[in-house]
């Protein structure tokens, strides 16, 4: 294997960082829009005269479109060319954002969100592949870290910006804000991006593989997104979608392994580092997406924060990630597995801190674990992508980053589905347990009832009404405590998950930078990183 420090010499340093800024701007727009709609569903209900179940399809349609198009990113790039495909995605995303903003009814909005998901899905894997190609190995850590700032800030600013715009202006502005960013990203991409010299042109279309991919990934995303609302397998629709997903994905895997022109080249999974890293990425995506959802829901439902304040709770994570940028300089100088282990264990600490939730905890008690988690993420994503992608051939990079993104998104979808389901089930369990221990003969119960009865008597209620309202308040407190214990259970599960990830790191090989090619020597093949046990 040869030195990877000779990545495209014809690209100047200024152009490399201009390309980095370009893909970061467009990626940030896509990530921001993934989370921004969560906080405006009540506004959509009132404006479009729809129920919560109907407006939730605004989110589901986007996620399903994402799930369908991301696996095909490598194939579409080889079919259309990298630059043209990136520009097409940015244009489709911006135009569909405008249509979403002016949508007169819910149907138009959902259709526009489908096209928005199709345009936004490939941007992340494309961005990763571009950065991995244009930077030499010793600079990739810093490039991915800088790009990752936009990746981290998107879901943090999404609820904050979305809540503010919806409250102060209109829900339509959460889509309008994409337009100037989209136009800027389009012109920057037009100027700085170029087609990859390593990408092989596709001439044939695997229609069977394409159809199975759409059916399989689309149905899987619908199952994960709608399952908890539909009581999972008590719903015939969810059962049908799950069967179609399993059959279609099984047929898709068989098809892609046997056809000479696959939509998604699965041979990248024969690389030991990539296969292990992709699986770990799914687990890490599971934990990160689930923990962010839990914090947002807990702060709004149990602590009564509005969308703006809930977004501010997540903000320290972005600041912590910026603090950890220095870790990118270590990724080529030390064992990436040690960095990843440190990041996962530090993230486990931040999640462990969240197992001590109380209904009286203040903002900083929530913000400190987010700061630690953001700092830990700098030691997770950069070394993980280095370990996973460094030994992949450049002509397979787009396909590999697409598969990597698929695994992260599937992990995140499973994480959100599982923690929300466990939250409901554990709340019911803890509620039943707590209620069974509440009796009128218990001194603490009598003291609490007397406190509430006295409170309502001072407000003018008669003794009978005050006692009835005191019982109701005691029941509400019991439910709140049951939910609190359920959140703690979820955070315990995520703590164990991140604490266990380092156990699998010995299956990956450390990536080393080989010595630079000496003057007068001739490189004989495209650069590739060197993996060592």
Write the CA distances from 243 to 213, 248, 400, integer angstroms.
14, 8, 27
Query: Is 118 among the domain residues?
Result: yes
Average pLDDT over residues 1-14: 55
Q: Are residues 219 and 335 in the same domain?
A: no
Q: Does residue 129 surpass a pLDDT of 50?
A: yes
The pLDDT tens digits for 379-425 are: 888 888 888 888 888 778 888 888 888 888 888 888 888 888 888 88
Q: Is residue 466 part of a domain?
A: no
Q: For residue 180, how many C-alpha atoms fall within 13 Å in the half-sphere facing its CB?
A: 3
| Interval 432-480: pLDDT, tens | 887 776 666 667 666 666 666 666 667 767 676 776 677 676 667 778 8
Query: What mean pLDDT is predicted for residues 88-100?
Result: 89
Identify the domain boundary among 260, 285, 305.
260
What's the total number of domains in the chain? Answer: 2
Which one of 216, 235, 260 terminates a domain? 260
- Are 371 and 504 in the same domain? yes
525: confidence class by pLDDT, cuts 50, 70, 90 = very low
pLDDT tens digits for range 300-326? 778 877 766 776 777 787 777 777 776
- Look at residue 139 and tell me if it is in a domain: yes
Whether 7 maps to a domain, the answer reads: no
For residues 83-102, average pLDDT: 89
| Same domain flag for 276 and 356 | yes
Q: What is the mean pLDDT of the chain?
A: 79
Residue 226: domain span: 206-260
What's residue 265's pLDDT?
A: 81
Are 210 and 172 in a shared domain?
no
**331 and 353 share one domain:** yes
pLDDT number for residue 348: 94
Query: What span, in angstroms and rounded, lies between the C-alpha atoms of 321 and 306?
Result: 24
Which has the closest alpha carbon to 193: 139, 134, 143? 134
Of 120, 121, 122, 91, nearest to 184 by C-alpha is 91
- Contact between 73 and 30 under an 8 Å Cβ cutoff? The reply is no
CATH number at residue 17: 1.20.1250.20
pTM for the full predicted model: 0.80
Q: Are residues 495 and 513 in the same domain?
A: yes
Residue 38 DSSP class = G
Q: Is residue 457 part of a domain?
A: no
More confident residue, 248 or 196: 248
Task: Say which range, 13-17, 149-153, 170-174, has the weakest mean pLDDT.
Answer: 149-153
pLDDT over threshold 80, residue 498: yes
Last residue of a domain, one of 260, 283, 302: 260
- Let me know whether 175 and 267 are in one domain: yes
Token pair, residue 229, equals 């609302």
Whether residue 154 is found in the same domain as residue 124: yes
44 occurs within a structural domain: yes
Q: Using the 8-state DSSP alphabet, how is residue 532 labeled?
A: E
Q: Quote the pLDDT of residue 51.
A: 66
Claim to verify: residue 187 and residue 220 sit in the same structural domain: no
Instruction: For helices 123-134 and 381-389, give the axis angle rounded to 10 degrees.
Output: 70
Q: What is the mean pLDDT of residues 66-79?
A: 84
Contact assessment for residue 249 and residue 76, using Cβ atoms and an 8 Å cutoff: no
| Termini Cα distance of the chain | 15
What per-residue confidence (pLDDT) applies to 290? 86
**256 part of a folded domain:** yes
Distances (CA, A) of 358 to 237, 294, 436, 470, 496: 38, 14, 22, 22, 21
Same domain, 186 and 59: yes
Residues 177 and 227 in one domain: no
Residue 50 lies in a domain: yes
Residues 107, 67 within the same domain: yes
């Amino acid at each position: 294997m040869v030195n990877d420090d000779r990545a495209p010499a014809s690209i100047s340093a200024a152009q490399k960082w201009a390309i980095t800024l370009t893909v970061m701007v467009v990626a940030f727009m896509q990530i921001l829009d993934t989370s921004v709609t969560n906080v405006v569903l009540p506004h959509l209900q009132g404006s479009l005269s729809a129920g919560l179940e109907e407006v939730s399809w605004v989110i589901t349609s986007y996620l399903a479109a994402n799930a369908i198009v991301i696996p095909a990113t490598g194939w579409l790039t080889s079919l259309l060319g990298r630059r043209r495909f990136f520009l097409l995605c940015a244009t489709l995303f911006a135009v569909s954002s405008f249509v979403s903003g002016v949508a007169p009814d819910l149907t138009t909005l959902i259709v526009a969100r489908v096209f928005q998901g199709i345009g936004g899905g490939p941007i992340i894997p494309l961005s990763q592949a571009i950065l991995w190609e244009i930077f030499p190995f010793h600079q990739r850590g810093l490039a991915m870290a800088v790009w990752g700032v936009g990746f981290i800030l998107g879901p943090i600013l999404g609820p904050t910006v979305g809540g503010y715009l919806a409250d102060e202006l209109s829900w339509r502005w959460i889509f309008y804000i994409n337009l100037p960013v989209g136009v800027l990203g389009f012109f920057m991409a037009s100027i700085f991006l170029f087609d990859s010299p390593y990408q092989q042109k596709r001439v044939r279309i695997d229609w069977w593989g394409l159809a199975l991919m759409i059916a399989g990934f689309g149905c899987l995303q619908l199952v994960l997104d709608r399952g908890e609302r539909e009581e999972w397998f008590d719903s015939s629709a969810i059962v049908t979608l799950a069967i179609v997903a399993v059959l279609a994905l099984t047929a898709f895997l068989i098809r892609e392994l046997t056809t000479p022109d696959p939509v998604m080249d699965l041979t990248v999974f024969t690389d030991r580092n990539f296969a292990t890293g992709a699986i770990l990425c799914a687990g890490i995506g599971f934990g990160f997406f689930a923990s962010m959802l839990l914090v947002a829901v807990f702060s709004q439902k149990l602590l009564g924060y509005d969308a703006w304040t809930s977004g501010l709770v997540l903000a320290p994570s972005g600041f912590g990630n910026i603090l950890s940028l220095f870790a990118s300089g270590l990724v080529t100088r030390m064992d990436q597995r040690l960095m990843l282990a440190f990041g996962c264990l530090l993230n486990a600490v931040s999640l462990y801190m969240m197992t001590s939730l109380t209904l009286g905890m203040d903002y900083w008690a929530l913000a400190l674990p987010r700061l630690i988690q953001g700092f830990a993420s700098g030691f997770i994503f950069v070394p993980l992508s280095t370990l996973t992608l460094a030994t992949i051939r450049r002509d397979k990079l787009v396909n590999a980053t697409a598969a990597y993104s698929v695994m992260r998104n599937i992990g995140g979808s499973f994480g959100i589905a599982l923690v929300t389901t466990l939250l409901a089930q554990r709340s019911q369990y803890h509620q039943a347990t707590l209620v069974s221990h509440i009796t009128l003969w218990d001194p603490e119960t009598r003291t609490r009832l007397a406190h509430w009865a006295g409170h309502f008597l001072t407000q003018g209620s008669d003794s009978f009404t005050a006692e009835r309202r005191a019982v109701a308040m005691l029941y509400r407190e019991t439910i709140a405590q049951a939910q609190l214990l359920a959140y703690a259970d979820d955070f315990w599960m995520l703590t164990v998950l991140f604490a266990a990830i380092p156990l699998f790191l010995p299956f990956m090989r450390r990536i080393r930078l080989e010595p630079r090619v000496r003057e007068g020597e001739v490189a004989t093949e495209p650069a590739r990183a060197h993996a060592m046990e």
